[in-house]
Structure 1
Amino acid sequence: MDSLLLLTILIVFFALAFDFINGFHDTANAIATSVSTKALPPKIAIVMAASMNFIGAITFTGVAKTITKDIVDPFAIENGSIVILAALLSAIAWNLITWYFGIPSSSSHALIGSIAGAAISAAGFGILNYNGFIKILEALILSPFLALGIGFLMMSLFKVLFRNSSLYKTNKGFRTFQIFTAALQSFTHGTNDAQKAMGIITMALIAGEFTTSTDIPLWVRIAAATAMGIGTSIGGWKIIKTVGGKIMKIRPINGAAADLSSALIIFGATYIHLPVSTTHVISSAIMGVGSAQRVKGVKWGVARKIVLTWIITLPISAALAALIYQIINLFF
């Protein structure tokens, strides 16, 4: 078999594996609050999340196009297929490590850092599309702060609107409302996160000279959406425990406020074709909601551990991808 075709097949396989892992790694983010408040039983929450992730994934392609062309130029890079394969293997390895330890790390940071690291290893720093890469980094950095602020404002608004309501009735009503917010959260997750594997596969098709367009083929959209849906159906219980309970004690009104805040940020990013970390956004929204409720109620020690993981993910995944590229390059 031609080595370029073999590399392309491997990339498609590992890209779908990345989406599958992303599904069970990030399922927790979308449904953690609704499960922790018992708004939804875990099995029903996961089935709903899988379905809404699939629908969201096949609805949009803007983020996929950004991944395809804004980090490096897929038409200019030599050994593009090896670069992409190395990036995928690095991102998958980091996702599995953080999942094993129950740390809500960012699949987006891992993938984007890995693409940059592998590309630099192949062709030097000049290969990066700095305008696009900086725009992506800005979105990744700013989105958690926006989620923190909007979560704080959303919870503050709810406190004013429901200050005269009984706590029991308020929580009962919001527990039902959380079914909608969890579905919305899962849909927006699909609109952004599943796009990343679509962009990677399209980069591989360009590198292998199987296409000359950055448009996302229909089969790529369906395959990536399906992989994420199946991964979501498996679930990520370790991360559910961290996001759903270790950051703060979540009640239905808190969970609904966090879900709405993070869904707003994620869908806003999808609308302007920018990838963001759904993990970062959702965790930050929970912290913002908790701060509006009671600053001391947020377990900032756990939050610091999460933030540290956010910071180290991009450079570690970049270095790992650079190393993997050099190893693969020896064989091809």
Structure 2
Amino acid sequence: MSVTLVLVVTVVVIALAFDYTNGFHDAANAIATSVSTRALTPRIALGMAAVMNIVGALLGTEVAKTIGDGIINVKQFAESTDATMQVHGLIIVLGALVGAITWNLITWWFGLPSSSSHALIGGLVGAGLASSTQVEWKGILDHVIIPMFASPVVGFVLAYGFMMILLYTLRNRPYHRTMRRFRILQTISAAAMALGHGLQDAQKTMGVIVMALVAGGYAEHWNLIDANNGLVIPWEVKIASALAISLGTYSGGWRIMRTLGRKMIELDPARGFAAETVAAGVLYTTAFITHSPISTTHTITSAIMGAGATKSMKAVRWNVAKDIVIGWFLTIPAAALVSSIIYFLMNALIA
């Protein structure tokens, strides 16, 4: 068995492992508010989220193409018949994955809801820079940096505004009966959020797997590049990525769930519904319209803060929110650093 084939298989397996860690790391994104308001039991919420992850993962491929083609340029390896070049390209993708998984595990252990998406992007950038591979800075600016700052602001403002509208509309309704109805509505909003999570995050793994196949010289065999020089995502890759993130989600992310659902702010069912509905809307918009791989974590966290701030600004535990924001800013450079180290180590051992 050739070194190239071994590396391709290794990268695909590790990519699916990353997808799995993404699932249990980000399970809280979809269901923390529903569980904390007792709209759903944890196990039922996780089962529902796992199913909706699969559905969402199969609804599109544009985010996958952005990851596979918009961060670093791997097509140069597809065009080469030199096995050394192919191995070099696969080491870059492998370094990126290991960097992303390492940061995911660190933040999961400390219960910080950091972004798996930005960990992966940071990993790709770090390995790309370490290997002197062309980094698509314009694509990163348009599809990563701008959305990274815009999505939390949009999530906060829209959730705050939506919740204020709900408060005004329902101001004369009996509180306890209204909250019982919002618990039912939260089942729908949590499902919508879980679908958005699959739509966004499973596609990122699809993009990485296709990158590995392209770098390994399998582009022609799998018909991975279309007539317009764009990437094609095979159905086998879609199914594998959907199942991996779904299994990860079902295994749960209890540490982060506590941070989002209780430590940052105590939510009632109405505010949980508002946060989930807004976050899901932002995820759908970016997936289908801008094709940006935004962070589900950033989006739901900012929406929770926005909905919670309608109680009062003091209702949000800003010291917890501050720790989360610090984690956000550290994610890309930290994952990039780890991935560059992994790249240099593997390049010394294999290349």
TM-score normalised by structure 1 residue count: 0.98
The alignment status of 1:191 with 2:208, answered yes or no, reads no
Which of 87, 92, 103 pairs up with 1:94? Answer: 103
Query: RMSD between aligned alpha carbons?
Result: 0.9
Query: Deviation of residue 119 (structure 1)?
Result: 0.6
AA in 2 matched with 1:328: M
Instruction: Report the identity percentage.
Output: 44
Partner of 2:167: 159
Where in structure 2 are there 5+ consecutive unaligned residues? 78-84, 226-230
Give deviations 1:155-184, integer Å, cap 9, x for gaps: 111111111111111111101100000101
AA in 2 matched with 1:95: N
Query: Deviation of residue 293 (structure 1)?
Result: 2.3
User: Which is worse superposed, 69-78 or 145-154?
Assistant: 69-78
Partner of 1:274: 292
Where in structure 1 are there 5+ consecutive unaligned residues? none
Partner of 1:252: 269
Give deviations 1:203-246, integer Å, cap 9, x for gaps: 00100110141100110000000000111110000111000011
- In 2, the alpha carbon distance for the partners of 1:154 and 1:239 equals 25
Partner of 2:228: none
Partner of 1:331: 349
The alignment status of 1:293 with 2:308, answered yes or no, reads no
AA in 1 matched with 2:274: A
- In 1, the alpha carbon distance for the partners of 2:333 and 2:76 equals 24
The alignment status of 1:117 with 2:141, answered yes or no, reads no
Query: Deviation of residue 130 (structure 1)?
Result: 1.6
Q: Is the 8 A contact 1:59 1:191 kept in 2?
A: yes
Query: Deviation of residue 39 (structure 1)?
Result: 0.4
Give deviations 1:268-295, integer Å, cap 9, x for gaps: 1111211011011000000111112211
Please show how residues 160-175 of structure 1 align to structure 2 within 5 Å.
Answer: 160-175=168-183
- In 1, the alpha carbon distance for the partners of 2:29 and 2:196 equals 11
Partner of 1:138: 146
Secondary structure of 1:292's counterpart equals: coil
AA in 1 matched with 2:102: A
User: Which is worse superposed, 175-184 or 70-79?
Assistant: 70-79
Q: Is the 8 A contact 1:198 1:220 kept in 2?
A: yes
User: Which is worse superposed, 67-76 or 107-116?
Assistant: 67-76
Secondary structure of 1:293's counterpart equals: coil
- In 2, the alpha carbon distance for the partners of 1:7 and 1:139 equals 33
- In 1, the alpha carbon distance for the partners of 2:168 and 2:232 equals 47
AA in 2 matched with 1:154: F
AA in 1 matched with 2:277: L
AA in 2 matched with 1:98: T
AA in 2 matched with 1:31: I
- In 1, the alpha carbon distance for the partners of 2:337 and 2:109 equals 21
Query: Deviation of residue 141 (structure 1)?
Result: 2.0
- In 2, the alpha carbon distance for the partners of 1:59 and 1:263 equals 14
TM-score normalised by structure 2 residue count: 0.93
- In 2, the alpha carbon distance for the partners of 1:188 and 1:118 equals 28
- In 2, the alpha carbon distance for the partners of 1:180 and 1:129 equals 38
Secondary structure of 2:265's counterpart equals: coil
Runs of 4+ in structure 1 deviating by more than 6 angstroms, as ranges, are: none
Q: Is the 8 A contact 1:155 1:293 kept in 2?
A: no
How many equivalent pairs are there?
330
Please show how residues 69-88 of structure 1 align to structure 2 within 5 Å.
Answer: 69-76=69-76, 79-88=88-97
User: Which is worse superposed, 286-295 or 255-264?
Assistant: 286-295
The alignment status of 1:238 with 2:246, answered yes or no, reads no
- In 2, the alpha carbon distance for the partners of 1:286 and 1:144 equals 10
Partner of 1:210: 218
AA in 2 matched with 1:119: G
- In 2, the alpha carbon distance for the partners of 1:73 and 1:95 equals 24
Q: Is the 8 A contact 1:140 1:275 kept in 2?
A: no
The alignment status of 1:262 with 2:270, answered yes or no, reads no
The alignment status of 1:220 with 2:237, answered yes or no, reads yes
Query: Deviation of residue 37 (structure 1)?
Result: 0.5
Please show how residues 23-42 of structure 1 align to structure 2 within 5 Å.
Answer: 23-42=23-42
